[in-house]
Amino acid sequence: MTTQEEINLPFNEMIEPKLLRHRVVSPQLYSEIHKRSLDQGPQFWESVARELDWFKPWEKTLDDSNPPFYKWFVGGEVNASYLTVDRHANGWRRNKVALIWEGEPWSDGPKEVKKLTYLDLYREVNRVAYLLKEEYGLGKGDTMGIYLPMIPELPIFMLAAARLGVAFTVVFSGFSAQAVADRMNDAEAKLLVTADGGWRRGKVVPLKDIVDKALESTKTIRNVLVVRRTGQEVRMEKGRDRYLHEVLSKVPQNAYVEPERVKSEDPLYILYTSGTTGKPKGIVHGVGGYMTLLHATMKWAFDIRDEDVFWCTADIGWVTGHSYIVFGPLMEGATEVLYEGALDYPEPDRWVSIVERHNVSVLYTSPTAIRTFMKYGEQWITKHDVSSVRLMHSVGEPINPEAWRWFFKLVGKERIPFGSTWWMTETGGILITITPGSYMVPMKPGTNGPPILGVAANVYNDEGKPVPEETKGYLVIERPWPGMPLTIHRDPERYVKVYWSKFPGTFYVGDYAVKDKDGYFWILGRADEVLKIAGHRIGTYELESALIQHPAVAEAAVVGVPDPVRGEVAEAFVILRGGTSVRPELKEELVKFVRENYGPIAVFREIHFVNKLPKTRSGKIMRRVVRAVATGSEVGDITSLEDEASVEEIRKALQEFK
């Protein structure tokens, strides 16, 4: 189908005009408006930033004197906790519901639903900030860790830390002890907040036990605060561990902590994310630029309004939750849903019942979730009333047109805006999407759409030259944008090397993309050794490291292969240590080992035992070759291979598997 035909698809005519701020504009008109936004330079962002409440206005919009360490809104002073909580609690949204929290446990209905107004949130954030400051002595320049399930304490602790100017690092509660320890050590966190356990698919995840194990190898953690969630017995180490409710009971109900006046370019948080090699990188986000991008995208992409109920189904442990559960929606004074558990627990329609019961109007979910719902069948959706939904987006990986159409029809009733927002941990917020809240272009199934105003995205070839339309290349961001990283924590050289060296002066994303004739971007997937398993970003290198920690494994190569529901899963090729007998249960044992040591988000299609791996003469595993064989694509140039027989070895292993 040509792009013009797609634009003329009937559903674009059917989008209800009353659901939009403006009429739908043509791609040509959008690209003119977009060009004008770029012509303004960094100043374009001033009018957006001015809508935030600054304690002190900035003096310089963009300091580009030391690239690529760009600084936004220099001289400005802000506080993210003030922007999200105080502004609303001290204004007319005081008694408006901020969070509708639903716990996972279920018997004929949800067992727990809790609503927190902006005033409630303000009180809780202040009391926790008081505790962190007075009891634990934390302040500007310190870092702390948060390892919590999706309970209200998670955003509360993030906002309390932000209030004090304490940089926090959240570890996804699906990660294991090693990941917790590595992150705490790299971030040099002094305090770690966790829970006794968390609910996941009706079972308790023993978070405190995992923390105990992690703390055997941490250097800087002095104290642990434990939220009582599941109520099971946990070990409490004297002098180190305390229950939150016990220490909080001594904090006055009306405790108030003045929000710290932090500099726009001071760190707000560190979030670890997987790259091509080595340990996860601690992406550092600042306050002013980051909050500005979130404000823009909450308005443009989500068209957020006071009467909305916003629901982002991601976990706060990933960037999507940081930006579009915690900081974005709360800054806008929205009412939002925070759901603790699995979307399909105890039945496939748990998520639909949440939409129906809480009247969700703006829904932000992922392709992998949509494909899971597809697998269960449409009857789980049609038995509910989803007419409250007026706008939807997806995120995390490319959305296949079939999944888009299916969801658009069943939930969108073929009449509401539905986009696929492209962004990543590093960008802080959405950069490429259709924007129903400002100028919306016609939808096309599977596309991401044009870049948002003020953002210069492009597609380059290997030489760093823009490719012609409809040609595959590397996605790049050509100019600094608010929300960009400050750096990689404790490793600025790596920040320069990973993102700014492939094409000097331009931000290298690591995704393949195509730009079509209408200026729409189609992000095709990662160009490097990073997997997206059910939307979770995982480095193949991390899975290999986890595998070789097993005593039976000598070497391992992990690649991503397509999966109909999860988008991608891992496939491993393992060389066993001499003398290891291939027991039938060894494969299962290895899978279990990785899931225990890395986290249950690691999903393998298969683990194969081989005698050789394709390597270069200098001994580097050629994953490109492994992946090509595993996915049945062109193997390409293998002249640098040390031993061509290794390719046969992989082929043979795959054939045996079939």
**Would you tell me which residues interact with ligand 6R9 (CB under 6 A)?**
273, 318-320, 395-398, 420-425, 448, 510-511, 523, 525-526, 532, 537
Q: Give start and end residues of each alpha helix (H) in 310-366.
A: 319-321, 328-331, 350-358
Q: How far is the CB of 310 from ligand 6R9 (least distance, A)?
A: 17
Nearer to ligand 6R9 among residue 106 and residue 327 (C-beta): 327
CB of 372 to ligand 6R9, least distance (A): 17
Residue 520 CB, shortest distance to ligand 6R9, in Å, is 12
Query: In this structure, what token pair is assigned to residue 506?
Result: 């331009």
Q: Please check whether residue 544 is in contact with residue 557, taking contact to mean a CB–CB distance below 8 angstroms.
A: yes
Q: How far is the CB of 623 from ligand 6R9 (least distance, A)?
A: 17
- Tell me if residue 278 falls in helix, strand or coil: coil
Nearest distance in Å: CB 365, ligand 6R9: 11
Edge-first strand listing for the sheet containing 143-147: 241-243, 223-227, 191-195, 143-147, 167-170, 267-273, 281-286, 487-488
The structure tokens listed for 602 are 């690691």
Nearer to ligand 6R9, 61 or 427 (CB): 427
In whole angstroms, how close is the CB of 236 to ligand 6R9 at the nearest point?
A: 34
Query: Nearer Cβ to ligand 6R9, position 396 or 417?
Result: 396
CB of 77 to ligand 6R9, least distance (A): 29
For ligand 6R9, which is the closer residue by CB, 194 or 420?
420
- Give the C-alpha distances (Å, rounded to integers) separating 564 from 366, 386, 402, 558, 658: 14, 26, 11, 19, 17
Q: Which is nearer to ligand 6R9, 278 or 525 (CB)?
A: 525
DSSP strand pairing (223-227 vs 335-339): unpaired
Please report how close the Cβ of residue 334 comes to ligand 6R9 at its closest, in angstroms.
Answer: 19
Question: What are residue 237's phi and psi, to 5 degrees?
Answer: -85, 125
Residue owning tokens 């400005």: 76
Q: Angle at the Cα of 260 (from 305 to 324), degrees rounded to 5?
A: 30
* Nearest-angstrom CA–CA distance, 162 and 184: 18
What is the rounded distance in angstroms from the CA atom of residue 492 to the CA atom of residue 567?
A: 32
Instruction: In angstroms, give the least distance from the CB of 22 to ligand 6R9.
Output: 23
Sign of CA dihedral 213, 217, 218, 222: positive
- Which residue, 61 or 447, is less far from ligand 6R9 as judged by CB? 447
Closer to ligand 6R9 by CB, 538 or 547: give it. Answer: 538
**Residues linked to residue 102 through DSSP beta bridges, in sequence order:** 113, 339
Q: Which of 323, 391, 307, 357 is nearest to 93 (CA)?
A: 307
CB closer to ligand 6R9 out of 197 and 419:
419
Closest CA relative to residue 613, chosen from 566, 648, 568, 570:
648
Closest approach of ligand 6R9 to the CB of residue 532, in Å: 6
Task: Name which of 230 and 421 has its Cβ closer to ligand 6R9.
Answer: 421
Other C-beta atoms lying within 10 Å of the C-beta of residue 148? 26
In the complex, least distance from residue 430 CB atom to ligand 6R9, rounded to whole angstroms: 8
| CA nearest neighbour of 576 among 550, 543, 553 | 553
Residue 13 burial (10 A CB sphere; 0-12, 13-18, 19+): exposed
The CA dihedral of 280, 154, 482, 73, to the nearest 10 degrees, is -120
CB nearer ligand 6R9, residue 132 or residue 416: 416
Task: State how far the Cα of 279 lies from the Cα of 527, in Å rounded to an integer.
Answer: 19
Query: Min. distance of Cβ 525 from ligand 6R9 in angstroms?
Result: 6
Residues in the chain: 658
Structure tokens given for 147: 């390892």
3-state secondary structure of 543: helix
Contact 368/567 with Cβ under 8 angstroms? yes
**Residue number, 424 or 455, with CB nearest to ligand 6R9:** 424
**Toward ligand 6R9, which CB reaches closer, 214 or 424?**
424
